[in-house]
């Protein structure tokens, strides 16, 4: 137990390394009265939760009311009866102990919830990567394609989040989900026969029609997964959207549904450019990789035809950053 002969001294003790569990405070003190001390205690985050019991000779009900309004836990008038004071002090200490336990318990629960959410988040990311890599095993030339396209999509979305046409869609949450779901864009390729998927030469018209079904196969697979759960999952909705629509073209000449312009989801418009850019700079059995400059020129030429004009402009503005992503996740790195 510590005693202070002034309000200033009481405040210094309360704000010390070991704050008191309870303060018995006289209202009538020189220089700084009890009300002023309590006001200062409540302003400081380190002392605002310390229970304060007023001890005073002031017996007017308005004085008691003022003390309680300022945050006093109790108000005892003089002359003091020791047994009464001890009982009321004991009550306040027990109440504080219960509050402290509850606070610590809540902190533990919050930490546990955060840990489990982080674990679930990691499990989700790993599961997505596993599914995406499963698709890659059917097309081994794609290498780090999912990492590169994921990086391009995140960069483009971040660049466009303040653009008037995209600001309503590309908030932080959407970009996070978009980046997470992007690796599933070609998941439908697991349903394409090897003779077509791995053919070293040009596909026949009939083979090309089969190849194009990977967009529908991917979205249908994700939709089947959605049916196994009892509520919507945001990233699955985006993953399905990207898988289904990333081969649509701005001018309506794409597949599978010939959508055009803003009818193509934003996610798919971003993925379309990212996917084409990476395909251009990557080697295939039927072609050599293009240089970064050649790929950039082809993307620029597709502005307003294959690609959303504003998405194209964002790509051209951050082209060097896209090159850096491509080099960071180059195949064999």
- Residue-wise pLDDT tens digits, 180-234: 889 889 889 888 998 998 888 889 999 999 999 999 999 998 888 788 777 777 8
Query: What backbone phi and psi angles, to 5 degrees, belong to 287?
Result: -160, 155
122: pLDDT strictly greater than 80: no
User: What's residue 226's pLDDT?
Assistant: 80
133 vs 86, residue with greater confidence:
86
- Please give the mean pLDDT across all residues of the chain: 87
Cβ neighbours of residue 54 under 8 Å, at least 6 residues apart? 25, 26, 27, 34, 38, 64, 67, 72, 74, 75, 76
User: What's residue 291's pLDDT?
Assistant: 96
User: What's residue 132's pLDDT?
Assistant: 67
C-alpha 200/C-alpha 212 separation (Å) is: 17
Tokens encoding 233: 């999952």
Sheet holding 74-77, edge to edge: 23-26, 52-56, 74-77
130: pLDDT strictly greater than 70: no
Instruction: List the one residue out of 272, 50, 258, 257 whose CA is nearest residue 149.
Output: 272
Q: What percent of the chain has pLDDT over 90?
A: 40
Query: Nearest 5°: CA angle at 179, between 132 and 242?
Result: 65
Assess contact for 145 and 282: CB atoms under 8 A: yes
139: pLDDT strictly greater than 80: no
105: pLDDT strictly greater than 90: no
User: What's residue 149's pLDDT?
Assistant: 94
Let me know if 65 is exposed, middle or buried by CB neighbors in 10 A (0-12, 13-18, 19+). exposed
User: What's residue 214's pLDDT?
Assistant: 94
User: What's residue 42's pLDDT?
Assistant: 87
- Lowest-confidence range among 144-158, 174-188, 220-234, 318-332? 220-234
C-alpha 247/C-alpha 10 separation (Å) is: 72
User: What's residue 141's pLDDT?
Assistant: 55
332: pLDDT strictly greater than 70: no
315: pLDDT strictly greater than 80: yes
Domain architecture of the chain: domains with CATH? 7-108 (3.40.50.2300), 128-328 (1.10.3210.10)
Packing angle of the helix pair 172-181, 234-245 (nearest 10 deg): 60
pTM of the model: 0.65
226 vs 252, residue with greater confidence:
252
Distances (CA, A) of 149 to 78, 95, 145, 281, 329: 76, 57, 6, 12, 10
133: pLDDT strictly greater than 80: no
Arithmetic mean of pLDDT, 113-125:
74
Beta strands in the chain (DSSP E): 23-26, 52-56, 74-77
174 vs 143, residue with greater confidence:
174
User: What's residue 119's pLDDT?
Assistant: 74
């Amino acid at each position: 137990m510590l005693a202070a002969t002034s309000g200033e001294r009481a405040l210094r003790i309360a704000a010390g390394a070991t704050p008191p569990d309870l303060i018995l405070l006289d209202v009538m003190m020189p220089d700084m009265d009890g009300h002023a001390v309590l006001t200062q205690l409540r302003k400081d985050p380190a002392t605002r939760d310390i229970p304060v019991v007023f001890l005073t000779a002031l017996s007017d009900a308005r004085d008691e009311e003022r003390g309680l309004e300022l945050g006093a836990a109790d108000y005892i008038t003089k002359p003091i009866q020791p047994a009464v004071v001890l009982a009321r002090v004991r009550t306040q200490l027990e109440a504080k102990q219960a509050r402290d336990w509850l606070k610590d318990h809540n902190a533990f629960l919050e930490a546990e919830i955060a840990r489990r959410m982080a674990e679930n988040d990691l499990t989700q990311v790993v599961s997505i990567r596993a599914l995406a890599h499963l698709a890659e095993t059917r097309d081994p030339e794609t290498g780090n394609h999912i990492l590169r396209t994921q990086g391009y999509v995140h960069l483009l979305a971040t660049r466009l989040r303040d653009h008037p046409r995209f600001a309503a869609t590309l908030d932080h949450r959407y970009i996070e989900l978009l980046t997470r779901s992007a690796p599933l864009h070609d998941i439908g390729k697991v349903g394409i026969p090897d003779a077509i998927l791995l053919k070293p030469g040009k596909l026949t018209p009939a083979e090309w029609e089969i190849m194009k079904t990977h967009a529908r196969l991917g979205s249908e697979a994700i939709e089947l997964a959605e049916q196994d759960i009892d509520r919507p999952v945001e990233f699955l909705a985006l993953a399905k959207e990207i898988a289904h629509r990333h081969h649509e073209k701005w001018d309506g000449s794409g597949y599978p549904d010939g959508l055009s312009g803003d009818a193509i989801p934003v996610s798919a418009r971003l993925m379309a450019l990212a996917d084409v850019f990476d395909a251009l700079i990557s080697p295939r059995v039927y072609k050599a990789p293009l240089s970064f400059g050649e790929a950039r020129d082809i993307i620029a030429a597709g502005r307003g035809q294959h690609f959303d004009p504003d998405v194209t402009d964002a790509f051209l503005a951050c082209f060097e950053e896209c090159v850096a992503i491509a080099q960071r996740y180059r195949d064999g790195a």
